[in-house]
């Protein structure tokens, strides 16, 4: 008997015009690790909701076909019955957190299953260690960062030790090392307890490392199915499906096309081993292994009186009300007009707390924050909104108008602009983000990716000099992420100052010119993107890692590959340059 057995599944929501799932046939064996990939709106989350009975019992709609989990037909068994077998981590952690402390949240599911109290204690302690939050166990989940909430939701599901664990993009808000840790723990559960895992993910590099099988869902149908190597090596097909392969797979694809080889890299180790065998060296290659990050010329120390300074923090400290924890500690930071800065760091490092000072949502406990020379303490949020636009981590926190068009026009109206200017800005934002076809649609019925686009357009229409993006690409497919970032890039090219928080090091490498790394409320590194990503050991101390392609370049630095490579194309260009200059200089490595 299969743990999951789906036959000709078709489903439509009560409000949808057609089927969201269209003839899904899928069988999953006990102990299998199945990864589900697909573009935004492909039906991935809907498929997950059929596995624990939320569909059809809670969301209703029209379900046809059969879905069986551990032999139980989901249409014939209640949600409480099914949740004893199927654990679920939802895409948005806030939807499943409700206890007063983290410890209580993690224990809740096991308590309801009647697990022995001693074993519950052991499970809670283990889960707290897994998510690196033992020191926060008595804190309310609602006072956590988005990434920390996600960790708690994962821990709560893990502690229940279900037969089947279903995770809907569980690591989208986690720092890079945290993603690796969660995947490793889930893989260990599979191996040690023969747990069946179904995970929806866009993190192709982690999928490559731990999955037994991958399916690609698109427009409600399974369009590809096979081993991670078979699926992830199809670079062009995945691009057409709005997805991305691991960067080492992209390198193999480029090398194969240009050299007529048959490389098939799935991991860093495979790529490093195969490329080293080619044994080429660039004698004049500059050694970058000792490259040290330097303070950029945009730092507060050098720019205190700069006429170009847009954002300036002076000895900034912040303590949340009712606590004695300094979330920000003596932050001195200067961001000049026209910069594109990424602020990165582990979950809970203080990133969102810092940028909320820039739009006045938070006021310094000590020190000052200045926007174009004016202290934020002296201005209201409404006044600062003319200078600083903020796109929240959760788009639902700032979307409330009846239609997309009205949502985008709302900001300019509040600025008191003329009707003609409001219409002009609204139209420009709609076209720039690509929302023409849904301009009359209520935002509430849109998918997450489209809601993110609406929230971006609603701020863009106000044309603030400074634009802050808090995790703009979380939970959306690669193509949507690039579409969003390309729109932001156009604003940057027009002179806007961009400040971005993200856990996607690949997005950082592709768009940001400067990186500020926060660690426990302090600035650890502040330098150009290339310089920061060269500091691998320092990044590890704050649970960060450079993009996969940068790591590959660093592992092959003895061949002359620079340690600060930022893209697959750049890596291959350098590789071919090395071969071209050394056709007759092959050496042993």
Please name the residues in contact with 8: beta carbons below 8 A apart, sequence gap of 6 or more.
Answer: 23, 24, 25, 64, 65, 66
Kindly give the residue spans of alpha helices, DSSP state H, lying in 131-221.
146-159, 176-193, 204-210
Tokens of 232: 């992830």
Distance between CA atoms of residues 431 and 423, nearest Å = 12
Longest dimension (CA), the chain: 72
Helix (H) / strand (E) element for 533: namely helix 529-533
Distance between CA atoms of residues 132 and 138, nearest Å = 14
Paired strand residues for 225: 215
Asked if 102 contacts 134 with a C-beta cutoff of 8 angstroms, the reply is no
Strands annotated E in 276-339: 309-319, 326-336
Instruction: Map out the domains of the chain with their CATH numbers.
Output: 249-289+549-581 (no CATH), 300-547 (3.40.50.300)
The whole-number pLDDT of residue 301 equals 41
Calculate the CA 555 to chain-centre distance.
Answer: 25
Distance between CA atoms of residues 394 and 205, nearest Å = 25
Distance between CA atoms of residues 476 and 255, nearest Å = 29
Please name the residues in contact with 118: beta carbons below 8 A apart, sequence gap of 6 or more.
Answer: none
pLDDT digit string, tens, across residues 196-241: 999 999 889 989 999 999 999 999 999 999 999 999 999 999 999 9
Asked if 220 contacts 203 with a C-beta cutoff of 8 angstroms, the reply is no
The whole-number pLDDT of residue 290 equals 43
The whole-number pLDDT of residue 302 equals 43
Distance between CA atoms of residues 287 and 28, nearest Å = 49
**Phi/psi of residue 77, nearest 5 degrees:** -125, 145
Q: Whose CA is closest to 256, among 240, 238, 271, 269?
A: 271
Assign 200 to helix, strand or coil: strand
Distance between CA atoms of residues 583 and 72, nearest Å = 64
pLDDT digit string, tens, across residues 18-77: 899 999 999 999 999 999 999 988 999 999 999 999 999 998 889 999 999 999 999 999
Chunked into runs of 10 residues, the chain (589 residues) has average pLDDT values of: 95 87 96 94 92 92 95 94 91 83 93 92 91 88 82 88 91 79 83 91 90 96 96 94 94 94 93 82 45 43 58 96 89 96 93 96 96 94 93 88 95 93 95 90 83 91 95 85 91 95 95 97 96 94 93 92 95 89 55
């Amino acid at each position: 008997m299969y743990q999951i057995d789906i036959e000709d599944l078709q489903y439509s929501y009560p409000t949808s015009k057609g089927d969201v799932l269209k003839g899904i046939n899928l069988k999953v064996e006990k102990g299998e690790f199945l990864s589900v990939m697909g573009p935004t709106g492909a039906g991935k989350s809907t498929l997950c909701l059929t596995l624990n009975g939320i569909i059809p019992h809670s969301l209703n709609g029209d379900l046809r076909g059969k879905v069986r989990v551990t032999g139980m037909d989901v249409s014939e068994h209640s949600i409480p019955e099914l949740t004893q077998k199927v654990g679920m981590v939802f895409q948005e952690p806030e939807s499943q957190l409700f206890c007063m402390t983290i410890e209580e949240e993690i224990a809740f599911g096991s308590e309801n299953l009647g697990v022995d109290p001693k074993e519950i204690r052991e499970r809670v302690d283990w889960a707290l260690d897994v998510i690196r939050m033992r020191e926060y166990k008595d804190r309310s989940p609602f006072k956590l960062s988005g990434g920390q909430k996600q960790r708690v939701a994962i821990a709560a599901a893990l502690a229940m030790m279900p037969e089947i664990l279903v995770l809907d993009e569980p690591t989208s808000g986690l720092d890079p090392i945290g993603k690796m840790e969660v995947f490793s723990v889930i893989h260990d559960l599979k191996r040690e307890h023969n747990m069946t895992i179904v995970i929806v993910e866009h993190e192709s590099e982690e999928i490559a490392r731990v999955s037994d099988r991958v399916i690609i869902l698109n427009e409600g149908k399974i369009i590809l199915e096979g081993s991670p190597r078979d699926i992830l090596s199809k670079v062009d097909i995945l691009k057409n499906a709005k997805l991305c392969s691991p960067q080492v797979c992209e390198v193999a694809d480029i090398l194969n096309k240009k050299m007529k080889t048959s490389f098939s890299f799935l991991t860093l180790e495979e790529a490093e081993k195969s490329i080293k065998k080619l044994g080429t060296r660039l004698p004049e290659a500059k050694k970058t292994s000792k490259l040290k990050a330097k303070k950029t010329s945009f730092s507060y120390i050098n720019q205190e009186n700069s006429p170009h300074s847009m954002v300036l923090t002076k000895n900034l400290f912040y303590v949340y009300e009712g606590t004695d924890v300094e979330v920000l500690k003596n932050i001195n930071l200067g961001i000049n007009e026209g910069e594109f800065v990424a602020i990165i760091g582990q979950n809970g490092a203080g990133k969102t707390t810092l940028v909320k000072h820039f739009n006045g949502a938070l006021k310094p406990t000590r020190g000052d924050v200045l926007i174009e020379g004016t202290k934020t303490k002296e201005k209201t949020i409404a006044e600062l909104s003319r200078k600083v636009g903020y796109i929240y981590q959760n788009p639902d926190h700032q979307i409330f108008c009846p239609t997309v068009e009205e949502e985008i026009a709302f900001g300019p109206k509040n600025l008191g602009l003329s009707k003609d200017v409001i219409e002009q800005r609204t139209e420009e934002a709609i076209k720039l983000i690509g929302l023409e076809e849904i301009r009359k649609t209520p935002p509430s019925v849109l998918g997450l990716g489209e809601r993110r686009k609406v929230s971006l357009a609603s701020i863009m229409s106000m044309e603030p000099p400074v634009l802050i993006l808090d995790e703009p690409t979380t939970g959306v497919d690669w193509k949507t992420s690039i579409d969003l970032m390309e729109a932001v890039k156009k604003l940057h090219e027009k002179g806007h100052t961009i400040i971005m928080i993200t856990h996607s090091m690949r997005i950082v490498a592709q768009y940001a010119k400067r990186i500020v790394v926060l660690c426990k409320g302090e600035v650890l590194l502040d330098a150009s993107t290339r310089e920061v990503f060269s500091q691998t050991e320092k990044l590890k101390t704050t649970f960060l890692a450079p993009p996969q392609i940068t790591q590959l370049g660093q592992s092959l630095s003895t061949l002359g590959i620079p340690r600060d490579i930022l893209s697959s194309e750049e890596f291959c260009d350098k590789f071919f340059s090395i071969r071209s200059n050394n056709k007759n200089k092959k050496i042993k490595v």
